[in-house]
Amino acid sequence: MRLRPSVVVGFAIIAVYVAAALLGPLLAPYGEAEVVGDVWEPFSALHPLGTDSLGRDMLSRLLWGASRTIGVALAATLLSFTIGMTLGYLAAVLGGWVDMILSRSIDTLMAIPTLIFALVVLAVLPPSVLILILVIAVLDSTRVFRLARAVAMDIVVMDFVEVARLRGERLGWIIFREVLPNTLPPLIAEFGLRFCFAFLFLSSLSFLGLGIQPPAADWGGMVRDNANAISFGLPIPLIPAAAIAILTIGVNLVVDWQLERSSIARRGA
């Protein structure tokens, strides 16, 4: 099947960012926290993207931050899907009081504003990458739970699931062999959306000073550190902001294509 140009662009953007995340520290011309020039130097051969508020090379900081920002967002998204899909499938397959307890617990957690919940938790707990991943994953898993439960509820009433129950198949078989394969398409698309949420949420927390802590490079923190440059007409904080925006656009282009494919497959079925 021939891909639309927008989808090719989306995959190309993702490929470039994955390469930057994997090889960034090797490609960076300077160290992550190395001061190599004056404050906010303009673009030059030595510093293609200029320097930041402390005289550190922006290109190097951007490459170092790629692995950390993308890695934390990806880890949080994977954990949120592990939690949300597991609980969502259990609620749909078991039903009854299990479904009621899990659903009401998730509703209670979703009633709390996401940013306020994260700010309170991160203000109390010691700042660390592990805490960040856990907080983002728990908050994000509520949305995954709702989707996983909804799509699984449509599957568990199908004849082939009832036949598996009558055969005496165990819970694990029903979930992994009957329900999971038939619910993957919308969940794969949702994974891209949830990654974007985690990516943007991490950048927001870093901008507020509760995300990845300096001197570690992080794109949201880089926007915060150089925000005052805007007052002098300098584009320095727009560089990490553009990096965040471009990746979000690339992922959404691929997600839209995946959602379209899922819709066509459902209509064909």
CATH numbers and ranges of domains, the chain? 11-268 (1.10.3720.10)
Residue type, position 91, single letter: A
Residue 15 sits at φ, ψ, to 5 deg, of: -60, -40
Q: Which pLDDT value is given to residue 266?
A: 55
Tell me the C-alpha distance between 70 and 46, whole Å. 26
The overall average pLDDT reported for the chain is 88
Say whether pLDDT at 169 is over 90: no
Q: What is the sign, positive or negative, of the torsion defined by CA atoms of 173, 178, 179, 182? A: positive
pLDDT surpasses 70 at 17: yes
Which pLDDT score, from 0 to 100, does residue 242 have? 93
Residue 265 has pLDDT above 70, yes or no: no
The mean per-residue pLDDT over the stretch 197-226 comes to 88
Can you give the chain as a three-state secondary structure string? CCCCHHHHHHHHHHHHHHHHHHHHHHHCCCCCCCECCCCCCCCCCCCCCCECCCCEEHHHHHHHHHHHHHHHHHHHHHHHHHHHHHHHHHHHHHCHHHHHHHHHHHHHHHHCCHHHHHHHHHHHCCCCHHHHHHHHHHHHHHHHHHHHHHHHHHHHCCHHHHHHHHCCCCHHHHHHHHHHHHHHHHHHHHHHHHHHHHHHHHHHHHHCCCCCCCCCCCHHHHHHHCHHHHHHCCCCCHHHHHHHHHHHHHHHHHHHHHHHHHHHHHHHC
Alpha carbon separation from 69 to 199, 228, 238 (Å, rounded): 7, 22, 17
Answer yes or no: is pLDDT of 160 > 90: no
Residue 38 burial class via C-beta count within 10 angstroms: exposed 0-12, middle 13-18, buried 19 and up: exposed
pLDDT band at 263 (very low <50, low <70, confident <90, very high): low
Please give the pLDDT value at position 256: 85
Which structure tokens are listed for 242?
């553009």
pLDDT mean over 33-48: 90
Say what the pLDDT of residue 12 is.
95
The confidence score (pLDDT) of residue 141 equals: 93
Summarised one tens digit per residue, pLDDT across range 115-154 is: 888 888 888 888 788 999 999 999 999 999 999 999 999 8
pLDDT at site 178? 83
Question: How confident is the model at residue 259, as a pLDDT?
Answer: 77
- Per-residue pLDDT band for 183 (boundaries 50, 70, 90) equals confident
- pLDDT tens digits for 80-97? 999 999 999 999 988 889
CA-based radius of gyration for the chain: 22
pLDDT (0 to 100) of residue 264: 58
Q: Which of 100-114, 220-234, 254-268 has the lowest mean pLDDT?
A: 254-268
The whole-angstrom distance between residue 233's C-alpha and the CA centroid of its chain comes to 32
Whose CA is closest to 260, among 189, 180, 160? 189
Q: What is the mean pLDDT of residues 47-62?
A: 92
What's the pLDDT tens digit per position in 215-259? 888 899 899 889 899 888 888 999 999 999 999 999 999 888 887
**pLDDT value of residue 133:** 93
